[in-house]
Amino acid sequence: MTFPVDDIRSAFPILTDGRRKKPFRYFDSACVTLRPQAVVDAIGEYYGRFPGCHGRTVHDLGRLVTDRYDEAHQAACDLINARSRRDVVFVRNATEGINAVCHGLDLKPGDVVYSSDIEHNSNLLPWQDGARRNLFDFRIFRTHDDSTFDAEAFRRDFPANCRLVTIHSTSNVTGASFPVDEIVRISHERGAPVLVDAAQSMVTGPPDVRRPGIDFLVFSAHKMFGPSGLGVLYVAPDHQDGLRPLLLGGETVTDTTYGDHTPAAWPDRLEAGLQNYAGACGFTAAVAFLRRLDRPALKAHLTALNGRLSEAVGSIPGVRILGPADPADRPTVLSLVADGIDPHRLATLLDDAAGIMVRSGMHCCHSWFHGRNIPESVRFSFSAYNTHEEVEAAVEMLDSLLRHFRRR
Point out the residues that are catalytic. Answer: 364
How far, in Å, CA of 279 to CA of 154, rounded?
Answer: 38
CA of residue 363 relative to chain centroid, distance: 13
| Cβ within 8 Å of residue 190, ≥6 positions away | 158, 162
On the question of a cis peptide bond just before residue 267, with omega within 30 degrees of 0, the verdict is yes
How far, in Å, CA of 160 to CA of 127, rounded?
Answer: 18
| Cβ within 8 Å of residue 405, ≥6 positions away | 338, 340, 341, 346
Q: How far lies 171's CA from each of 61, 186, 251, 253, in Å?
A: 41, 20, 35, 37
| Cβ within 8 Å of residue 321, ≥6 positions away | 310, 313, 314, 334, 335, 336
How far, in Å, CA of 311 to CA of 327, rounded?
Answer: 9
Residue 287: CB atoms within 10 Å = 24
HSE of 154, CA atoms in CB hemisphere, 13 A: 22
Q: Could you tell me if 354 and 24 are in contact, meaning their C-beta atoms sit under 8 angstroms apart?
A: no
| Cβ within 8 Å of residue 134, ≥6 positions away | 109
**Kindly report the CA angle at 220 between 215 and 221, in degrees rounded to 5?**
125
Amino acid at position 153, single letter:
A
The 3-state DSSP class for residue 122 equals helix
